[in-house]
A and B are shown apart, each in its own frame.
Chain A
Amino acid sequence: MAIYIQSISQISIQEPLCDNWFESPIYHRQRYVSSIEPNYKQYINPMSSRRMGRILKRAVTTSLNVLQGRKGNEIDAIITATGLGCIENTEKFLYSMLENNETLLTPTYFIQSTHNTISSQIALELKCNNYNSTYVHRGISFESALFDAFLQFKLNKITNALVGAHDEMTKDMFTLYDKIGYWKKGDICVETLRKSETLGSFSGEVAVSSFLSNEKNEDSICSLAGMNILHKPTKEKLEETLKRLLEENNLTLSDIDAVLVGHSGDKENDEVYSKTKENLFNDIPFVWYKHLFGESFSMSGLGFYIGATCLKKNIIPKHLVFDSPKEILNPKHILIYNHFQNSEHSFILLSKC
């Protein structure tokens, strides 16, 4: 039972709805960067657009972009990952409640404050009555959403799925997460992120939608060959899981062209990747992306997009290769390895189809 990525699209702190970052990435220096907004008019009529927060506009736009006219019950599952959900509306309702001591409240912001507002709004736009769910587990939110779809493909419950990762970062949330060490203290640059001498990274935003199908056609970008998620695995357990994942696909470690990792410039975060490299990956080149896209709970959704884009373009550009300043030509298999605070670990294997 094979699964193919048919289409994948992003709105982030790089140029939206395109792959311009591939040739000419933007290197940000600020530690708090908001997404570059595309022109939404092409996707959402202005009436509905006014009622939607930023996160909803981005989610609907990337979804419609990858669905390319598919709608309604043609889509078997809509699954969304979001670490903080519609946090802007949550804050608005919360502030209003605290400032007016639980009086004078209106329901508008409450209605659009829940995490599942995103998946629901997409279903509303598409008029899709099928499977609909939302995963909210911090840095492993995206893998959880993808795993849900993956399992349902395996069990023949679905033939296609729209899987997305969406997170916005408000000023207030940035300030709060700054207080507990999520962000670097001054301006950032690629070299400081590469060296990981201090804690924290820089804040980005995420909107990624992918359309997956069990049918291969000329649009298929690559295949989702396998995946797994582990909670606090031992070194042996991690190794064993990787071994099984490779065996299931008749591969050995030497077939993997690159390991795409969530190296973010945060010392503690990055040490886990270095250690796993020593234990499992030896000489396989590491590829990174958070130096271009920043950090966010569902950021690994962008990792998935980047892995797929590299396989589509048959090249991993030099600016993504972590260890050596050399591009990787004709990659066939990219392994995405992500962890969150050394608690949740995941593997996603993407293969050329």
Chain B
Amino acid sequence: MNDILVTAMGILTGLGLGKDETLQSLINQNSAIGELKHLNTIHSSLPVSEVRLSDKDMLSLLNYNPQNPLTRTTLLGMLALREALEQAKIDKDTPKRIAFISGTTVGGMEKNEEFYLEFFQNNSKDEYISLHDCAASTQDIADYFGGFDFITTISTACSSAANAIILGANLIKAGYVDIAVVGGTECLSKFHLNGFNTLMILDKEACKPFDKNRQGLNLGEGAAYIVLEGMESAKERGVEPICKLSGYANTCDAFHQTASSPDGQGAFLSMKRALEDSGLSAEDIDYINAHGTGTDNNDSSEASAIKRVFGENPPYVSSTKSFTGHTTSAAGSVESVISILALKNNFIPANLNFKTPMEDVDLVPAQRTIQLPNIKHIMTNSFGFGGNDSSCIFSKII
């Protein structure tokens, strides 16, 4: 009755533009992690998953000649959102109350870091000043498409997009909107590449989530949005639901600003409460799309938490960050789209580059694409700095 349906989605990552390219890459085990091309940094030897399109390419794909400059975060978001809105048959005249909720953290930093010193020297780059904050991308994306009745921006670091999903679902359940378009967008910036680098959590090779010899994460960039809608609205508009969002939870590890607690208390609670919210039991979950960054700390902590929730024989687990890199604020929606593709197409995406099991926690991820007869329920985890942990469960509609 009160089901929150997913009626459309759009995605852009290093794997490609759109659901089809993403699905093919996942099934064929083609990772997007490779060399840096667009970001101008001295750390260009670090592997990343960059979107292959330049800003110019994206503007031309959008057939858009904006009056004011746009950030790369904004352009990524526009392309991902366009795919979602087209599939959902939503345009600016759709007679429904529609929310747009976007997660981002770095905001316009990628332009800011380029022009920051110049801002104080002359006026030539002043039009970039207002692009610095997080809301700039949300506002520019909303203006480009039009038709939204409510917009806001969430920033909980790497769980931002997952929390956008949660707010969207609550808005529909409480009856304030009919449709919520939710997700996140984030481009690479020198700022966070250097930030993660100072924390010494970037792997110099392709990341190896849940492997004993993992050395850290690879950053990625991208955007993804999903369209949430109540049954009544979907029926009325004649759109076919893809699956439902059957449960979700947001918790806080409250342990450290950047490190996760050894027993993964925040992660444990977010998975447990998402299950409670969905009314499902641990045995019902067929696959966990892990946060699985590839850092020593996250993977041990998350694996411990998975064991605490799911027992000694957990369902299939994999981290698709071995394909997309860590798309930070967009990760929650990027991995939700990947999870929904897996749910719909009945496969477990591989956890690439895994060789040796960890010693401290006994958890072996799926190492290749596994086709299954019928996947019913999938959980996806998004954890962020500050211990902001969120889990979402997507289920087939029976």
A interface, CB within 8 angstroms of B: 78, 83-85, 93-94, 97-98, 101-103, 105-107, 110-117, 119-121, 123-124, 126-138, 140-141, 144, 147-148, 151-152, 154-155, 157, 172, 175-177, 179-180, 228-233, 237, 297, 343-344
B156→A111 contact, CB < 8 A: no
Chain A contacts of B242 at CB under 8 A?
none
Chain A contacts of B171 at CB under 8 A?
151
- Which of B129, B190, B257, B266 contacts A176 (CB under 8 A)? B129
Please list 12 pairs of residues, one from A and one from B, whose beta carbons are closer than 8 Å in the complex, sorted by A's number.
A102-B190, A103-B42, A107-B198, A115-B134, A116-B384, A121-B257, A124-B255, A128-B254, A147-B152, A179-B119, A237-B149, A344-B151
- Which of A115, A124, A132 contacts B250 (CB under 8 A)? A132
A144→B152 contact, CB < 8 A: yes
Query: How far does the alpha carbon of A141 sit from the alpha carbon of B42 in the complex, in Å?
Result: 35
Find the B residue at minimum CB distance from A237.
B149
- Which of A128, A134, A151, A237 contacts B156 (CB under 8 A)? A134
A116→B385 contact, CB < 8 A: yes
B250→A116 contact, CB < 8 A: no
Asked if A231 meets B142 with Cβ closer than 8 Å, knowing A103-B42, A116-B385, A179-B129, the reply is yes
Q: Is B157's beta carbon under 8 Å from chain A? A: yes
Interface residues of B in 341-360 (CB under 8 A from A): none
- Which of B117, B142, B153, B387 contacts A120 (CB under 8 A)? B387
Query: How far does the alpha carbon of A195 sit from the alpha carbon of B41 in the complex, in Å?
Result: 49
How many chain B residues touch the partner (CB < 8 A)?
A: 64
Q: Is B155's beta carbon under 8 Å from chain A? A: yes
Chain A contacts of B394 at CB under 8 A?
none
A136→B154 contact, CB < 8 A: yes
Find the B residue at minimum CB distance from A132.
B252
B250→A133 contact, CB < 8 A: yes
Secondary structure type dominating chain A contacts: mixed
Q: Is B315's beta carbon under 8 Å from chain A? A: no
Chain A contacts of B173 at CB under 8 A?
151, 155
B interface, CB within 8 angstroms of A: 41-43, 100, 105, 109, 112-113, 116-117, 119-120, 123, 126, 129-130, 132-135, 138-139, 142, 148-157, 163, 167, 170-171, 173-174, 176, 190-191, 194-195, 197-199, 250-258, 265-266, 269, 384-388
The 7 closest A-B pairs by CB, nearest first: A120-B386, A110-B195, A132-B252, A107-B198, A115-B155, A136-B134, A144-B152
Chain B contacts of A230 at CB under 8 A?
149-150
- Which of B130, B197, B250, B256 contacts A131 (CB under 8 A)? B250
B123→A179 contact, CB < 8 A: yes
Query: How far does the alpha carbon of A85 sit from the alpha carbon of B329 in the complex, in Å?
Result: 15
Find the A residue at minimum CB distance from B2.
A155
A138→B135 contact, CB < 8 A: yes
A135→B252 contact, CB < 8 A: no
B138→A102 contact, CB < 8 A: no
Query: How far does the alpha carbon of A122 sit from the alpha carbon of B197 in the complex, in Å?
Result: 26
B250→A135 contact, CB < 8 A: no
B170→A151 contact, CB < 8 A: yes
Chain A contacts of B174 at CB under 8 A?
151, 154-155
Q: Point out which of A83, A102, A297 has the most chain B C-beta atoms below 10 A from its C-beta.
A: A102
B192 to chain A, nearest CB (A): 8
Query: How far does the alpha carbon of A3 sit from the alpha carbon of B304 in the complex, in Å?
Result: 38
A142 to chain B, nearest CB (A): 11
Query: How far does the alpha carbon of A232 sit from the alpha carbon of B145 in the complex, in Å?
Result: 13
A-B contact sample (13 more), CB < 8 A, given A119-B156, A230-B150: A83-B135, A94-B112, A97-B190, A97-B191, A102-B43, A102-B190, A111-B257, A117-B257, A130-B251, A130-B252, A135-B155, A138-B139, A231-B150
Chain B contacts of A157 at CB under 8 A?
170
B42→A101 contact, CB < 8 A: yes
B126→A180 contact, CB < 8 A: yes
Chain A contacts of B254 at CB under 8 A?
120, 123-124, 126-129
Chain B contacts of A115 at CB under 8 A?
105, 134, 155
A33 to chain B, nearest CB (A): 21
Find the A residue at minimum CB distance from B123.
A179
Find the A residue at minimum CB distance from B196.
A110
Query: How far does the alpha carbon of A114 sit from the alpha carbon of B113 in the complex, in Å?
Result: 16
Asked if A152 meets B170 with Cβ closer than 8 Å, knowing A78-B252, A129-B269, A229-B152, the reply is yes
B206 to chain A, nearest CB (A): 22
B257→A135 contact, CB < 8 A: no
A137→B129 contact, CB < 8 A: no
Chain A contacts of B117 at CB under 8 A?
98
Chain B contacts of A140 at CB under 8 A?
152
Find the A residue at minimum CB distance from B257.
A111
Chain B contacts of A229 at CB under 8 A?
150, 152
B133→A136 contact, CB < 8 A: yes
Chain B contacts of A228 at CB under 8 A?
176
Chain A contacts of B43 at CB under 8 A?
102
Asked if A102 meets B163 with Cβ closer than 8 Å, knowing A116-B385, A137-B138, A344-B151, the reply is no
B181 to chain A, nearest CB (A): 12
Query: How far does the alpha carbon of A141 sit from the alpha carbon of B257 in the complex, in Å?
Result: 22
Find the B residue at minimum CB distance from A172.
B120
A136→B151 contact, CB < 8 A: no
A349 to chain B, nearest CB (A): 15
Find the B residue at minimum CB distance from A83.
B133
Chain B contacts of A172 at CB under 8 A?
120
Find the A residue at minimum CB distance from B166.
A133
Q: Point out which of A113, A116, A130, A229 has the most chain B C-beta atoms below 10 A from its C-beta.
A: A116
Query: How far does the alpha carbon of A76 sit from the alpha carbon of B191 in the complex, in Å?
Result: 33
Chain B contacts of A148 at CB under 8 A?
167, 170
B388→A112 contact, CB < 8 A: no
B117 to chain A, nearest CB (A): 6
Q: Point out which of A107, A140, A230 has the most chain B C-beta atoms below 10 A from its C-beta.
A: A107
Chain A contacts of B119 at CB under 8 A?
176, 179
A132→B156 contact, CB < 8 A: yes
Chain A contacts of B138 at CB under 8 A?
137
B137 to chain A, nearest CB (A): 11
